A and B are shown apart, each in its own frame.
Chain A
Amino acid sequence: MSSSIVEAESILAVDIGSVFTRALLFDVVEERYRMIATAQVRSTIGAPFFDISESIFQALTRLEEITGRHLMEEAHLILPTQDDGSGVDRFVLTFSAGQPLRVVAMGLLEDVSLASARKVLESTYCHIVEQISLNDRRKPEAQIDAILRARPDLVLIAGGTDQGATRSMAKLIDLLVLTLQLLPPESRPDVLYAGNTAITKQVTDRLEPFVRPHVVPNVRPNIDQENLLPAQEKLSEIVYLRRSHQLGGLQSYSTISSVTPQPSLRAFGRMIQFLNKLSGTSQGVLGIDLGSATTGVAAARQEIFSMLALPFGSGYGLAAALERTPLESITRWLPMHVPDEMVRDYLWHRTLYPAAVPQGLEFQAIEQAMLRQTLALVANRISSEEGIYGFEPILVSGYALTQALSPAQALLTLLDGLQPIGVTTFILDPYGLLTALGAIAPLNPTLVVQTLESNALLNLGTVIAPISAARYGTPILKVRYELENGETSTVDVRQGMLVPLPIPNGQRARLHLHPLRPLHLTPTGKDTTRSFRITGGLLGAVIDARGRPLELPSDSARRRDLLKRWMAALGS
């Protein structure tokens, strides 16, 4: 994979998160694009600034200090690059900060069109505040009152296969038209129509006296087919339009941005799609961006691509994660005794301070325990039945996992939380590179490819997690690995063990698995190969023979002892 530079340009990418604002500077070094420097500061979307400009200014000041390059003139970004080398050629902006869009979803059938509508809405920062369908037994006036009370930013209408139902759709539209009449023009929501294309004209004619609807192809053109992407793309634009009124300064930065500012998850997802294509395999690529307010998930496998903006995270979204998690699911991950009340109170206290950093071993352990459960929530949403398997690699972004933990702590947290099955490589993105590159990709694909080749992402290592019914302590596997220099080693693996393979970082090795007991590497047991090549990561490679689902001893002392042994195995 290599590309030549036709016309070199420097690019500044800024991501506005709910807690942190990140700036990444890209330029050409020795004829190849590189990420030159990054800076991270607190976001200033709230009091007392209420404007993203302040955090961008602080981040650029930091970049100027790091690089010695003059980027601003009187607090304004210099665009394009000047003869004296100051400034940058292009600027791109992504954002995840801001309130989720309040959405009313309208559709015909709960399990068909509304289900598709929900998938569209889950792909970005939305909160479904009301749903209306034919299954809804409320009177029309009660539905009108419900929409008014919901104060939506957006109404998404889905329903009717192409050439399908028209009368029922007309009823829904009439209901919406009546509701819109009750709202002053400045309070009316955006309307996105993604239903039966055969009646698009009638729908827009009815709505246009009150709002100018956004129209996209049907999300459910027929009962067995979904077409979510056009609606997702349009939704990203609507999110930007709404956020541009919420986030001070966003509009003014959009005027200097080379592309319209876009939701961070959209850019992140674009990179996951790109990496999936680049891999040329059918295994699929999974991206998890565990943010403060939202956890973004992007999964691409063959031609299937999906995005999820899950409403929980490590900071602003911690309360939502806690509400979904029994306390004992968190405390079971603690390697020391901490009273339940202390764990509970600390985590709820932590919800009030999304940017704070845990101090002291006990509190760090509590937060890492919570991270495991948050990842378990993510894994459950990705695949509640089969578990996480086969993705190669899994890319992980977000401050809590990539910066607040050591590499060994991060890998163990990911393994405990996601519990992947089979062969998976974990790659950390500590600088938010994937989001930045996803925003840059339409402008300069060469920059994307060359930056990815520059090792700006951290390979933690490949994990092989076999499934075996053998009893704890039984030898189940012999692993032989050959390094590039011809050196060969063999390791015996027992059921329940976590075994690191000391393959040097960046070095290729061939692994041969020799099962000593029946085991498999996929949930279905249909394994193909037991011999494959891997590249050593920061932690070499790891055999995780602890079983799936991972079961912890009920006896507290034994459980803590086991957790400590696993931590020691990875040196965390």
Chain B
Amino acid sequence: MTMILPAHHILPLAHLRRLRLLNGKGRVLVRPGQMVEATDVIAEAPAPGQHLLLDVRKALGVQRVSEAEQLIERQVGERVEKGDILAQTRGLFARILRAPVAGQVVAIYKGQILLETQPQPYRLLAGLPGQIAEVFPERGAIVETHGALIQGVWGNQQNNHGLLTMLAETPDAPLKADLLDLTLRGSVIVGGTCDQAEALKSAAEIPVRGIILGSLSAPLLPLATDLNLPVILLEGIGQIPINRLAFQLLNTNQKREVYLQASWNPALSEKPEIVIPLPAEGKAPEEAVEVAPGRTVRIILPPHAGVIGKIIQPHSTVLLRSGQRIPAAEVELENSQRVTVPLFNLDIIA
């Protein structure tokens, strides 16, 4: 049986098409063929603001809902300023209900008025510089660009971009606070590993625009999650050096503008991404690849986590000590050592 696996991308040059979609319906602000910057808004959707519920019956001292509703002088959708009359009784001693704040009447129900204040529309950004390839009315668009692509395995859901600066001279060089100074302001920095909270805090104080690491020790995950700048891990948690292919690619692109998309959904096998736009045309990456001899792979679990190798021979099943039979591959590592690795423990690099 042919075995097909999703590819993990570490590509010097590729043609990238990235879908940007709103969660619900909204307004698309771009057109096909339009050039966009990473910070350009592609689409926006109304997002609820704060609400204020005003009880007309209580405010005007009337008993019945129907009576209260007759006294309301506004309709759903109307904008009101602070102090505007919302409802009032008639006669000599009229009672008046005024808007306590500026806002919009968003609902009237059973003698109550619901005002919405400070709505902040949700804005969907391009995230990458490129061209709009396709528009989905009311939902979003596809942005396309050409450049290097490196996928990570964990990200803190933030996005940003900056100049790529290698602080790691070797793939396992730790990121330390004393390597950081104000000259890195605006940079996306690269470290091998990190087990120092101070290093992350210093980076945020400078502030750098983003952090790329091979791995991070587990206790620092909450801190990295809360940082107001993107953090992407290329290998995982612990003390795992950056894999050789990604390290070389980052090294050769020093001082280029690099775009970090650390927003991802692991439940959908999405991955955080690093994109380095380049003035050349690449091919669309293979998204799913056949497990075959010669394929470049990365091992994902210890004892060889982060090590690059080549498939010598795939096996449809191998027998483990537990009695379990699973698909595996014989892999030659870069130090010429040969190991048999379950396919579930391999990323096929493409």
Residue positions of A touching B, CB distance < 8 A:
18, 42, 45-50, 58, 61-62, 65, 99, 139-141, 144-145, 148-149, 151, 174, 177-178, 181-182, 184, 186-187, 293, 316, 341-342, 344-353, 355-360, 363, 403-407, 409
Contacts and interface: CB of A to CB of B under 8 A. Distances in A.
Given A149-B48, A348-B221, A407-B323, 6 more contacts: A174-B112, A181-B114, A182-B114, A345-B218, A349-B305, A356-B342
Interface in B176-199: none
Given A140-B53, A145-B51, A406-B323, A316 B267 contact: yes
Given A65-B1, A141-B51, A345-B239, A181 B107 contact: yes
B345 A148 contact: no
28 contacts: A45-B268, A47-B268, A48-B6, A49-B288, A65-B1, A144-B53, A144-B114, A145-B51, A149-B48, A178-B109, A182-B106, A342-B238, A348-B221, A348-B238, A349-B236, A349-B237, A349-B301, A349-B302, A352-B266, A353-B300, A353-B344, A355-B344, A359-B345, A363-B302, A404-B322, A406-B321, A406-B323, A409-B322
Contact of A356 (B106, B324, B344): B344
Interface string B133-168: 000000000000000000001100000000000000
A329 B51 CA distance: 46
A99 B302 CA distance: 29
B270 A46 contact: yes
A446 B176 CA distance: 67
B313 interface: no
A178 B238 contact: no
Nearest to B305: A349
B336 interface: no
Contact of A186 (B24, B320, B321, B344): B24
A357 B25 contact: no
B344 A357 contact: yes
Nearest to B47: A148
B270 A344 contact: no
A48 B266 contact: no
A144 B218 contact: no
B238 A346 contact: yes
B217 interface: yes
Nearest to B107: A181
A345 B217 contact: yes
B342 A357 contact: yes
Chain B interface size, under 10 / 10 to 19 / 20 to 34 / 35 or more? 35 or more
Interface string B280-310: 0000000110000000000011110100000
Nearest to B7: A48
Contact of B269 (A46, A187, A405): A46
B50 interface: yes
Interface string B198-224: 000000000000000001011101000
Contacts of A61: 1
B59 interface: no
Contacts of A404: 322, 324
Contacts of B25: 184, 186
A177 B6 contact: no
Nearest to A145: B51
Contact of B218 (A181, A348, A353, A355): A348
Contacts of A58: 1, 4
Nearest to B46: A184
A141 B305 contact: no
A347 B237 CA distance: 9
B321 A353 contact: no
A349 B24 CA distance: 34
Given A356-B344, A359-B342, A178 B53 contact: yes
B269 to A, nearest CB: 3
B287 A47 contact: yes
A357 B302 CA distance: 10
A51 to B, nearest CB: 12
